[in-house]
Amino acid sequence: MLLDHSPDIPNMEDLTREFLLESHEGLDRMERCLAELAEAPANPELLREIFRAVHTIKGTTGFLGFQRLERVAHAGENLLAGLRDGDLVVNAACIDVLLLLLDTLRSILRGIEQTGAEPEGADAPLLAQLEALQSLEEASQKNGASGNAAAFVKEGRYDGAAAMATTAGIVPAAIPKSKENSGGHTGIEEGEAPASVVDATVRVDVDVLQRLMNLAGELVLTRNQIVAAATEDQRIGMLAQRLDRVTGDMRDAIMRVRMQPVEQVFARFPRLVRELARQCGKQVRLEMEGQQTRLDRSVLELMRDPLLHAIRNSIDHGIEAPEMRTANGKPAEGNLRLRAASAGDHVILEIIDDGGGIFPERLRQRAVERGLISSEQAAALSDSEACNLVFVPGFSTASQVTNVSGRGIGLDVVRKNVEHAGGSVEMHSVPGQGTTIRMRLPLTLAILPALVVCCAGQRFALPQTAVVELHCLRAAEQMASIEVLGAARFYRLRNRLLPLATLRGLLRLSSDDNPSQGPQQASMQGEWNLVVLSAEGRRFGLCVDAFEGTEELVAKPLERVTEVPVFSGAAQLADGDLALILDVSALADLAGVAVDRTAVASETDTAVSLGENFLHVSLGDTSAAIPIACVEHVLSVRKAEIQSMDGTLVLPMDDEMLPLLDGAQLSHNRDADAFPAASIFSGVSRAEALHVLVCSQTERRMGLMVSAVHGMVQAEPAKLQNLSYPEESAQSILRLGEQLVRVIDPLTWQLPATYSETWTVFDNYLQNHWNSQQQSVGEITG
């Protein structure tokens, strides 16, 4: 019993809708052509294309009775007919008026779309301009060509500077008529260009495409079942194989229908750049590359705004004013490049400017001023990390709010949108030479590469982009690498503590399960499968029953029925079974995983003070709390293992020498005169054991010697102004029952000079290493 719901018969509304669709398409085409026309003013093809767009609107609008639209389109058509026939010549003023015409037509169409009727508006200035151009042209033809303007046209390049120069007064210009064009006076039909690409395409409703896609998915399932059932009979087996192939090809082909060239989004940018440059008083030349690179329609749509923001940013903040550029020995005209390129199953979009670049120092300073990070945190950032501070919400480096950008919004939106599309964005900059914003995007949202895992007999999919690594632990390894702090469990991953959660526990897949009991249960099973996940800067380990492998899924939307949006969709697996797709960020919420503090530079979340986890330790006679995010792990070492080098205590480890700080000295260092320097190190005998907290400061690691580790506490630190040292910034204090405990943050430790030197050398090494790696990567992708 399948009920059929027949579509309505076409009526006036449908005709209008059709007309709007067609007109919008025509105008989009017109915009693209206008951009090209600026580069090649004498190209008759382009003029014909523009003429056709306006002409079509005029033709249809008369039938539908939109008078204002008809009037404007008619005036435009007159001018365009002159241009097309070579009676008039394209110049900057002309393009400006045509752009104004485009805007007016668009705004009227939009009005019709929203209200069904033409919006009110004064078109007199536009009509006057259109006419003025025509009559001026006629006059100039009588008087002969103007030399200056002709020279400009011959130059063949159109840019912001020229636009500014020529729009001041309308400069009539003449150009020798091209041969092919000289005869074409009679009408549109006669001189028609051969069918363009546009004519060879068919417009398809996105819903129909989606439906096709679903049907293809269904077919894949049926195919799988037939292939499985057809093993006995050989002939059917052959047919099944053919079906298999055809089905796969069909799915790919339908996928491809959804792909569109980035040109569709890029087309708007020449004009945008021109206008922005004019507004900012800068000269900008736009170059675009790889416009035929294809991306899924939905991804492309999502990229529209981020690209816009990035371009605005480059023109407003990146490219310098002409005087400044010449003073710095650069050409007055700035260069902005938009690049699109395919890289495997990804597309790279780059916005490259040759402007002033970013000074990491200024970014650090600004981030501190804005209270986004502390000055110690800022100092700990590497230059490339500092560069990416621009993506933090509430960050803006322009000291003045301009019309274009600089309200502190923009680049954070860029990152949000890009990540929403399953991509990533980063910024590279060479001070004085320019900045590159690079977006890496998946080809399509329709196909989701995912890791399929099994838990409690059910299958779940984890987006591959969130999966960092997989670990399969045997019982013996587990004992060694799992740390228990209070109720929480951590996996010691390359000497860093990774918070753990079990999928069974999070999803309450078996009733007798408790999230914190996961590891114990798992250890009973003898094997433990761990997926290291990362989302929005939060890293955690998720324990599942088994890994099944990776698969490319077609994600289907799912009605949200759970409290936490933990399932982003569902998908059919190759064997026809259904898998729920897990939202890693929601899982992290569910598991209560906080933002990894050591990754602060790449993360937006700087509010780490809410209910943080601390390690409560004793430092000789005082106690202190250390943010757990800073602690990689706790070591118990015999004093004999610790070596002294020039007064610095060092713990030799497998692959490095870990410098040690004495916790007791740390807590008293300020009052060294008032208190005798206590030392945990000297307080123990050679055979006794010491606790060493291995802490990390972005790339740096150090050990903190403590006399005892009491366990983990969760608390919200309070600020306490130090009265004896009012010039110092407020201290963080934790209240643990009756006791007040000072918070020690390794990120704020003042290192003795010898350490600093060591670090500088180390940093330089890292930086060089990183640069050379980056370079080799660049060579490969470039």
Partner 1 sequence: MTMLRNVSEGVTHDDVCSIHVGNERFAVRLTDVFEVTASVELRACPLSPPHIAGLMQYRGEVLTTVCLRTLLGMQRGPGPASSVVMIGSRGLFALLVDEIGEVLPVAISSYEPVPATVETRCQELLSGTYKLEHGLLPVLDAKRLEPSALRSQHAPAHSREANIKQ
The CB-of-512 to partner 1 minimum distance in angstroms stands at 15
Residue placing its CB nearer to partner 1 in the complex, 325 or 504: 504
The CB-of-564 to partner 1 minimum distance in angstroms stands at 7
121-124, long-range: CB < 8 A, 24+ apart: 121/68, 123/68, 123/71, 123/72
User: Which residue matches tokens 């502190």?
Assistant: 408
Residue 250, both tokens = 């069909």
Residue placing its CB nearer to partner 1 in the complex, 587 or 680: 587
The CB-of-294 to partner 1 minimum distance in angstroms stands at 24
The CB-of-556 to partner 1 minimum distance in angstroms stands at 5
The CB-of-554 to partner 1 minimum distance in angstroms stands at 9
Per-position DSSP letters for 244-276, written without gaps between them: HHHHHHHHHHHHHHTEEETHHHHTTHHHHHHHH
298, burial (CB in 10 Å: exposed 0-12, middle 13-18, buried 19+): middle
What's the distance, CA 99 to chain centroid? 31
Residue placing its CB nearer to partner 1 in the complex, 411 or 455: 455
Residue placing its CB nearer to partner 1 in the complex, 321 or 456: 456
Residue placing its CB nearer to partner 1 in the complex, 86 or 515: 515
The answer to whether the CB of 602 falls within 8 A of the CB of 701 is no
Q: φ and ψ at 19, to 5 degrees? A: -60, -45
Residue 216, both tokens = 């293809």
SS3 annotation, 226-242: HHHHCCCCHHHHHHHHH
Residue placing its CB nearer to partner 1 in the complex, 216 or 660: 216
The CB-of-303 to partner 1 minimum distance in angstroms stands at 27
The CB-of-504 to partner 1 minimum distance in angstroms stands at 10
Question: Among candidates 72, 117, 69, 61, which has minimal Cα distance to 97?
Answer: 72
For residues 359-391, one letter each, b for 16 or more C-beta atoms within 10 angstroms of the residue's C-beta and e for the rest, the string is bbeebbebbbeeebbbebbbebbbbbbbbbbbb
Residue placing its CB nearer to partner 1 in the complex, 214 or 241: 214
The CB-of-212 to partner 1 minimum distance in angstroms stands at 10
The CB-of-562 to partner 1 minimum distance in angstroms stands at 4
Residue placing its CB nearer to partner 1 in the complex, 216 or 625: 216
In whole angstroms, give the CA distance from residue 139 to residue 339: 43
Question: Among candidates 532, 531, 587, 582, which has minimal Cα distance to 555?
Answer: 582
Question: Among candidates 592, 690, 590, which has minimal Cα distance to 637?
Answer: 690
The CB-of-779 to partner 1 minimum distance in angstroms stands at 44
Residues in contact with partner 1 by CB under 8 A are 1-3, 213-218, 221, 458, 507-509, 556-564, 566-567, 569-572, 576-578, 580
Sign of CA pseudo-dihedral 560, 563, 568, 570: negative
Q: What is the DSSP letter of 317?
A: I
Residue placing its CB nearer to partner 1 in the complex, 272 or 580: 580
Question: Among candidates 22, 33, 17, which has minimal Cα distance to 196?
Answer: 33
Residue placing its CB nearer to partner 1 in the complex, 467 or 571: 571
The CB-of-461 to partner 1 minimum distance in angstroms stands at 12
The answer to whether the CB of 425 falls within 8 A of the CB of 418 is yes
Q: How many CA within 13 A on the CB side of residue 771?
A: 10
Using DSSP, state whether 384 is helix, strand or coil.
helix
Residue placing its CB nearer to partner 1 in the complex, 20 or 580: 580
637, burial (CB in 10 Å: exposed 0-12, middle 13-18, buried 19+): middle
